């Protein structure tokens, strides 16, 4: 019985092979390619969606952190101004002026520190010293 099924299957394949012409083969190939392209596009869309969602979450966390840091900095500034006014017995304008000058000095120091930390350009292996190639 298995032989009958095998023969009938091979006969069916031969009949299909005779019926297929170049137009049918090309149509099938184009259909297969379009299915593959649609599947790849769906995969790309799904992966881009997850990447986009992760980036949006990261940006929102960064913004929330920035807002909290600004709020904390305002509180620290207010505390410094109040300290200078109450305990150093300075007038308000002097307290604000001293705090502003301190912030200005900190900004200059941070700017100088950031300008010194420029990344070095990458070097090709042919310019590296011999001892570092090992």
Angle 3-7-23 from CA coordinates, rounded to 5°: 155
d(CA 66, CA 74): 12
Is the pLDDT score of 3 beyond 80? Answer: no
With bands split at pLDDT 50, 70 and 90, how would you rate the model's confidence at 25? confident
67 or 132, which is more confident?
67
pLDDT at 114: 80
pLDDT at 69: 93
Name the pTM for this structure: 0.50
How is the chain split into domains, by residue range? 19-116
pLDDT at 83: 93
Residues 22, 27, 33, 39: what is their CA dihedral angle, to the nearest 10 degrees? -150
């Amino acid at each position: 019985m298995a032989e009958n099924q095998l023969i009938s299957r091979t006969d069916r394949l031969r009949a299909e092979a005779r019926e297929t012409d170049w137009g049918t083969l090309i149509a099938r190939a184009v259909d297969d390619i379009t299915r593959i392209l649609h599947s790849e596009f769906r995969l790309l869309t799904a992966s881009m969606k997850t990447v986009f969602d992760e980036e949006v979450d990261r940006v929102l966390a960064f913004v929330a952190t920035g807002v909290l840091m600004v709020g904390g900095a305002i509180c620290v500034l207010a505390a410094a101004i109040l300290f200078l006014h109450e305990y150093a017995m300075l007038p308000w304008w002097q307290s604000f002026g001293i705090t502003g000058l301190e912030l200005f000095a900190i900004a200059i120091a941070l700017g100088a520190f950031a300008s010194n930390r420029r990344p070095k350009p990458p070097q090709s292996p042919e310019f590296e010293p011999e001892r570092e190639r090992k």
